[in-house]
């Protein structure tokens, strides 16, 4: 069973190479832009950087920590955003492409059940793609912090203290891991919906998937006074119950004092709130129903 899943997931990565190419490309872009910033920075920027990181220590600890944290959040967000878009297209393609090129007849000629096949695609979207994103984020952070350390050292700064000692690395990475998987679980009803559409539609899964998501809220607005579906669907993006207290906005506000505890991104996360939220579980149930629907369609539809 597990060996089957591994082979099936490997198969997904062969077919959808963008799953690992995209994070590699983003990592390269982030690294190159950071490198060029360090190498080619003008006088003013050099002074600014030196002020923040350099030996003069003109700026305080909190500014340096804020800059490093901004780099953490910004670069992680970039991966999260790209991988989210990638996952949408992956899910829409996952059960459609094999029918379009008729390779489904070959896949089904092997001793693999439809449930196993669909679950491997779900696992790819909800476990493997986030895992690859996390690996890419960690690698990008390490490479870029190392590069910046070399630069700081060349300016006479103590990289060990100024860079590596400034932010709680492990905490922040753990935070990134939690956020990414929590977002994956939180958005799983959409994943289930996209895979279900991918399994049943005869053409254009993208259109078929988004049409009801746009049309139904529109009709709600026209014919009803309220729009429960529209809010449930489009409101879900912003309503993840994962963060506690301080939001990112006040975190970077001028004059906001970062106390030692709050500089850790982990301290911003309230995992218990997420796990206790009824909305989280409703999402998981909806996803499960839609995935079961996708399995049913793959098994019972006659392709001829």
Partner 1 sequence: MSSLVRAEGVSKKFGSFIAVDNVSFEIESGKILGLIGPNGAGKTTLLKALLGLTDCEGQLSVMGLDPFRQRKKLMQNICFIADVAVLPRWIRVRQLLDYVEAIHPNFSRQRAEELLRQTKIMSTSKVKELSKGMVTQLHLSIIMAIDAKLLVLDEPTLGLDILFRKEFYANLLNDYFDEERTILVTTHQVEEIENLLTDIMFINEGKIILNSSMDSLADTYVEVAASGDDADKARGLGPIAENKMFGKSVMLFKGVNREHLQVYGELRTPSVADIFVAKVKGARK
- Interface with partner 1 (CB under 8 A), residue from 33, 56, 113, 204: 113
Joined together, the tokens standing for residue 128 give 């493997």
Bridge partners, residue 243, by sequence: 269
Nearer residue to partner 1 within complex by CB, 4 or 155: 4
Tell me how far, at minimum, the Cβ of 303 lies from partner 1, in Å: 8
Binding-site size for partner 1 (CB under 8 A) equals 27
- Interface with partner 1 (CB under 8 A), residue from 55, 101, 247, 260: 101
Nearer residue to partner 1 within complex by CB, 47 or 299: 299
CA distance 60 to 49: 13
Q: Does 300 bind partner 1 (CB under 8 A)?
A: yes
Tell me how far, at minimum, the Cβ of 113 lies from partner 1, in Å: 5
- Interface with partner 1 (CB under 8 A), residue from 42, 111, 245, 255: 111
Tell me how far, at minimum, the Cβ of 238 lies from partner 1, in Å: 37
- φ, ψ of residue 269 to 5 degrees: the values are -100, 135
Nearer residue to partner 1 within complex by CB, 8 or 182: 8
Among the residue ranges 100-108, 121-129, 218-226, 268-276, the one whose residues contact partner 1 (CB under 8 A): 100-108
Which residues are CB-neighbours of 300 under 8 A, at least 6 positions away? none
Q: Does 21 bind partner 1 (CB under 8 A)?
A: no
- Contacts with partner 1, 60-99, as mask; x by CB under 8 A: --------------------------------------x-
The total number of residues shown for the chain amounts to 304
Instruction: Find the Cα–Cα–Cα–Cα dihedral 136, 275, 242, 131, rounded to 10°.
Output: 10
Q: Does 102 bind partner 1 (CB under 8 A)?
A: yes
Among the residue ranges 5-13, 78-86, 198-206, 248-256, the one whose residues contact partner 1 (CB under 8 A): 5-13
Report whether 8 contacts 94 (CB < 8 A).
no
Nearer residue to partner 1 within complex by CB, 107 or 251: 107
Binding site for partner 1 (CB under 8 A): 3-4, 6-8, 10-11, 14-15, 98, 101-113, 300, 302-304
């Amino acid at each position: 069973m597990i060996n089957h899943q591994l082979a099936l997931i490997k198969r997904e990565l062969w077919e959808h190479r963008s799953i690992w190419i995209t994070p590699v490309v983003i990592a390269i872009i982030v690294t190159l832009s950071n490198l060029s910033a360090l190498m080619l920075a003008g006088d003013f920027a050099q002074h600014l950087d030196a002020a923040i990181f350099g030996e003069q220590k003109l700026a305080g600890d909190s500014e340096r920590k804020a800059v490093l944290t901004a780099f953490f959040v910004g670069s992680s967000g970039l991966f999260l955003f790209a991988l989210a878009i990638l996952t949408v297209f992956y899910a829409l393609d996952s059960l459609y492409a094999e029918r379009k090129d008729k390779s489904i007849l070959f896949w089904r000629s092997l001793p693999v059940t439809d449930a196993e096949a669909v679950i491997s695609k779900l696992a790819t979207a909800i476990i493997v793609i986030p895992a690859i994103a996390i690996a890419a984020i960690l690698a990008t952070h390490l490479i870029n912090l190392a590069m910046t350390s070399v630069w700081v050292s060349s300016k006479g700064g103590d990289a060990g203290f100024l860079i590596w000692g400034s932010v709680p690395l492990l905490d922040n990475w753990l935070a990134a891991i939690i956020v990414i998987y929590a977002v994956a679980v939180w958005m799983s009803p959409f994943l289930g919906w996209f895979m279900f559409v991918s399994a049943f539609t005869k053409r254009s899964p993208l259109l078929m998937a988004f049409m009801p998501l746009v049309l139904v809220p529109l009709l709600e607005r026209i014919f009803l006074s309220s729009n429960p579906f529209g809010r449930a669907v489009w409101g879900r993006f912003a309503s993840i119950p994962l963060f506690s207290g301080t939001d990112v906005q006040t975190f970077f506000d001028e004059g906001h004092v970062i106390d030692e505890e709050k500089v850790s991104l982990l301290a911003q996360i309230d995992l218990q709130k997420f796990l206790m939220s009824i909305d989280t579980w409703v999402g998981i149930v909806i996803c499960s129903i839609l995935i079961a629907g996708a399995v049913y369609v793959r098994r019972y539809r006659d392709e001829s």
